[in-house]
Amino acid sequence: MNFAIVGATGNVGRKTIDILERSKLRINNLFLVASKKSSGKKISFKKKKIKIISLENYDFSKAQITFFAAGSSVARKWAPIAAKKTIVIDNSKYFRMHKNISLVVPEVNEKTLRNYKKTNIIANPNCSTAQLVLVLKPLHDKFKIKRIVVSTYQAVSGAGKASTDELFSQTKDFLNGKKIKSKNFTKQIAFNLIPHIDKFAKDGYTKEEWKMENETRKILDPNIKMTATCVRVPVKTSHSESINIEFKKSYSLQKVKALLKKAPGCKVIDTQKNGGYITPIEAEGSYFTYISRIRKDNSNKKALNLWVVSDNLLKGAALNTVQIAEVLIKKYIK
């Protein structure tokens, strides 16, 4: 099959190229698309140099599956046009909560892909949501989740390439005693953290927090109660989450650990000694979502605490879209 990536020069687009290069998908041609600014530049794929095409000059009928990784405004304008000629798998937030559009983490709700033809557009969840629902799924199946309280520690790469560069330049300027300039973040991010991701809503939450709550309910179960606090931290890659889960049923720690150990896409690294847990830098580049610090909530016998870390550009974005494409091809495209 032929594939295309819109936003091929960005953080998620480049990771998608890497993952396609390593995947078992049989790729005849890969078309790389970005803005006019990148048109004509070349990116390597399987020992070939592929020329970037500008979005305005690209013909969407060239590929059967097109990954969109260019943000909401590009998705809003171009994905419906593209979807007349290709299947769109979109990374942006724009289509995620649309009624007729599947929001998919294959290990959790693959079956919703059977509806893809209604629009020819499939949405990829927010990076923080993907790693969360992956871990919650086996626990919800067994013990029925009543309520989740989650705090995130999100890497700068989640805000795009320009924001990643801002962490590097601020760190350099800070160490050289120079004045710090903030452009992509609302405050200094180097040697600091910012409890604010995406815009503020009227109720005092941020849109990132809303996204996590609504997307988790759409993917896993609309009856789950949830509250989130999303924080940007000066980490390059991998989002971390501190998760408190209250179940409807009683649980045992032994059963929880056994379920998580066999959860698809997950790895448990959890020993109660120095270093017996995963940190963001160790998860970078890995296809796994890591679970550490599994322990009972001492204030509520039906609740559990977890620490979950995953590469936000992989399971949180590019890897999940490629996995969606793989399942689509294997089971749903006739």
| Locus of tokens 């994905």 | 79
Task: Please classify residue 269 by burial: count the beta carbons closer than 10 Å to its beta carbon, then call 0-12 exposed, 13-18 middle and 19+ buried.
Answer: middle
- List phi, psi (to 5°) of 231: -125, 135
Select from 50, 58, 83, 92 the one that contacts ligand NAP (CB under 6 A).
92
Select from 18, 160, 234, 296 the one that contacts ligand NAP (CB under 6 A).
160
Structure tokens that stand for 214 in this block: 């609504």
Cα angle, residue 19 at apex, residues 130 and 237 outer, rounded to 5°? 55
Instruction: Please report whether residue 131 would count as binding ligand NAP according to CB under 6 A.
Output: no
Nearest residue (CB) to ligand NAP, 89 versus 303:
89
Instruction: Please report whether residue 55 would count as binding ligand NAP according to CB under 6 A.
Output: yes
Nearest residue (CB) to ligand NAP, 93 versus 256:
93
Q: State whether residue 228 is helix, strand or coil.
A: strand
Select from 66, 102, 157, 292 the one that contacts ligand NAP (CB under 6 A).
157
Would residue 127 show up in a list of annotated catalytic residues for this protein? yes
Select from 30, 104, 116, 158 the one that contacts ligand NAP (CB under 6 A).
158
Minimal CA–CA distance to 85: which of 63, 105, 107, 58? Answer: 63
Nearest residue (CB) to ligand NAP, 51 versus 248:
51
Select from 190, 313, 322, 324 the one that contacts ligand NAP (CB under 6 A).
313
CB neighbour list of residue 112: distance below 8 Å, 6 or more residues apart: 102, 103, 104
Instruction: Please report whether residue 74 would count as binding ligand NAP according to CB under 6 A.
Output: yes
**Near ligand NAP by CB under 6 A, which window of 34-42, 200-208, 226-234, 247-255?**
34-42
Instruction: Please report whether residue 34 would count as binding ligand NAP according to CB under 6 A.
Output: yes
Structure tokens that stand for 279 in this block: 């940190």
Least separation in angstroms between CB 303 and ligand NAP: 29
Instruction: Please report whether residue 280 would count as binding ligand NAP according to CB under 6 A.
Output: no
**Near ligand NAP by CB under 6 A, which window of 69-77, 212-220, 253-261, 269-277?**
69-77
49 beta partners: 44
Q: State whether residue 77 is helix, strand or coil.
A: helix
Structure tokens that stand for 3 in this block: 């594939």
Least separation in angstroms between CB 208 and ligand NAP: 10
Nearest residue (CB) to ligand NAP, 6 versus 259:
6
CB neighbourhood size of 232 (10 A): 26
Instruction: Please report whether residue 312 would count as binding ligand NAP according to CB under 6 A.
Output: yes
Q: How many residues bind ligand NAP (CB under 6 A)?
A: 28
Quick check: 5 and 66 in contact, CB under 8 A? yes
Would residue 98 show up in a list of annotated catalytic residues for this protein? no
Interatomic CA distance for residues 189 and 70, integer angstroms? 24
Instruction: Please report whether residue 244 would count as binding ligand NAP according to CB under 6 A.
Output: no
Interatomic CA distance for residues 79 and 81, integer angstroms? 5
Instruction: Please report whether residue 9 would count as binding ligand NAP according to CB under 6 A.
Output: yes
Minimal CA–CA distance to 59: which of 78, 73, 45? Answer: 78
Q: Which of 140, 196, 230, 239 is catalytic?
A: 239
Residue of minimal Cβ distance to ligand NAP? 10
DSSP secondary structure string for all residues of 146-191: EEEEEEEEE-GGGG-HHHHHHHHHHHHHHHTTPPP--SSSSS--TT
Nearest residue (CB) to ligand NAP, 74 versus 259:
74
Kindly list the catalytic residues.
Answer: 127, 239
Site of interaction with ligand NAP (CB under 6 A): 7-13, 34-35, 37-38, 55, 69-72, 74, 91-92, 127, 157-158, 160-161, 312-313, 316-317
